[in-house]
Structure 1
Amino acid sequence: MATYTHGHAESVLRSHRSRTAENSAGYLLGRLHAGQSLLDIGSGPGTITADLARIVAPGPLTALEATDEAIALTKAELDAQGIDATYVVGDVHDLDLPSRTYDVTHAHQVLQHLVDPVSALREMGRVTRPGGVIAVRDADYAAFTWWPLIPALDEWLDLYRRLARHNGAEPDAGRRLLSWARAADLQILQASSTNWTYATPTDRRWWGGLWAERITDSAIADQATALEWADRADLERIADGWREWADHPDGWFMVPSGELIAAP
Structure 2
Amino acid sequence: MSKVYTTDHSASVIQTHGWRTLANSAAYVIPYIRPDLQILDVGCGPGSITVDLAKQAPQGHVIGIEYVPDPLEGARNLAVSEGVSNVSFQIGDIHNIPFPDSTFDLVHAHQVLQHIEDPVRAFQEMRRVVKKGGIVAVRESASLTWYPESEGIAAWKELSEHMGRAKGGTPHPGRMIHVWAYVSGFPREKIKKSTGSWCFSNQQEREYWGGSMEQRARSSGFAKTAIEEGFTSQEVLDKIATGWRAFVEDEDAWFGLLHGEVLCWK
TM-score (norm 2): 0.94
Counterpart amino acid of 2:62? L
What is the distance in 2 between the residues matched to 1:52 and 1:205? 27
Aligned to 1:104: 106
User: Tell me, what secondary structure is at the counterpart of 2:140?
Assistant: strand
- Displacement after TM superposition at 1:96 (Å): 2.0
What is the distance in 2 between the residues matched to 1:68 and 1:153? 31
CA contact (8 A) 1:208 1:243 kept: yes
What is the distance in 2 between the residues matched to 1:244 and 1:86? 40
| Distance verdict in 2 for CA 1:189–1:229, change over 3 Å | closer
CA contact (8 A) 2:76 2:88 kept: no
Aligned to 1:136: 138
Aligned to 2:179: 179
Aligned to 2:17: 16
User: Equivalences for 1:82-231 in 2 at 5 Å?
Assistant: 82-84=83-85, 85-140=87-142, 143-187=143-187, 188-231=190-233
What is the distance in 2 between the residues matched to 1:167 and 1:45? 23
Aligned to 1:62: 63
* Structure 1 unpaired stretches of 5+: none
Count of aligned positions: 262
Counterpart amino acid of 1:44? G
- Displacement after TM superposition at 1:189 (Å): 3.3
What is the distance in 1 between the residues matched to 2:23 and 2:122? 25
Identity of aligned residues (%): 33
Counterpart amino acid of 1:81? E
Of 200-209 and 110-119, deviating more is 200-209
What is the distance in 2 between the residues matched to 1:203 and 1:35? 34
- Displacement after TM superposition at 1:104 (Å): 0.5
What is the distance in 2 between the residues matched to 1:225 and 1:199? 30
What is the distance in 1 between the residues matched to 2:84 and 2:206? 33
TM-score (norm 1): 0.95
- Displacement after TM superposition at 1:100 (Å): 0.7
* Structure 2 unpaired stretches of 5+: none
- Displacement after TM superposition at 1:250 (Å): 1.9
Counterpart amino acid of 2:115? H
- Displacement after TM superposition at 1:112 (Å): 0.9
| Distance verdict in 2 for CA 1:173–1:73, change over 3 Å | farther
What is the distance in 1 between the residues matched to 2:76 and 2:208? 26
Counterpart amino acid of 1:24? S
- Displacement after TM superposition at 1:98 (Å): 0.6
CA contact (8 A) 1:35 1:59 kept: yes
What is the distance in 2 between the residues matched to 1:122 and 1:257? 21
- Displacement after TM superposition at 1:80 (Å): 2.5
Per-residue Cα deviation, 1:161-199 (whole angstroms, up to 9, x for no partner): 011112211112111211110111114331111110011
CA contact (8 A) 2:38 2:105 kept: yes
CA contact (8 A) 1:216 1:232 kept: no
Per-residue Cα deviation, 1:136-177 (whole angstroms, up to 9, x for no partner): 11112xx20001111121111000001111221111211121
CA contact (8 A) 1:138 1:259 kept: yes
Query: Runs of 4 or more off by more than 4 Å in structure 1?
Result: none
- Displacement after TM superposition at 1:103 (Å): 0.4
Counterpart amino acid of 2:38? S
Counterpart amino acid of 2:184? A
Counterpart amino acid of 1:170? T
Q: What's the RMSD between the two structures over aligned residues?
A: 1.4
What is the distance in 1 between the residues matched to 2:206 and 2:231? 27
CA contact (8 A) 2:163 2:231 kept: no
CA contact (8 A) 2:7 2:225 kept: no
Q: 1:254 aligns with which of 222, 235, 256?
A: 256
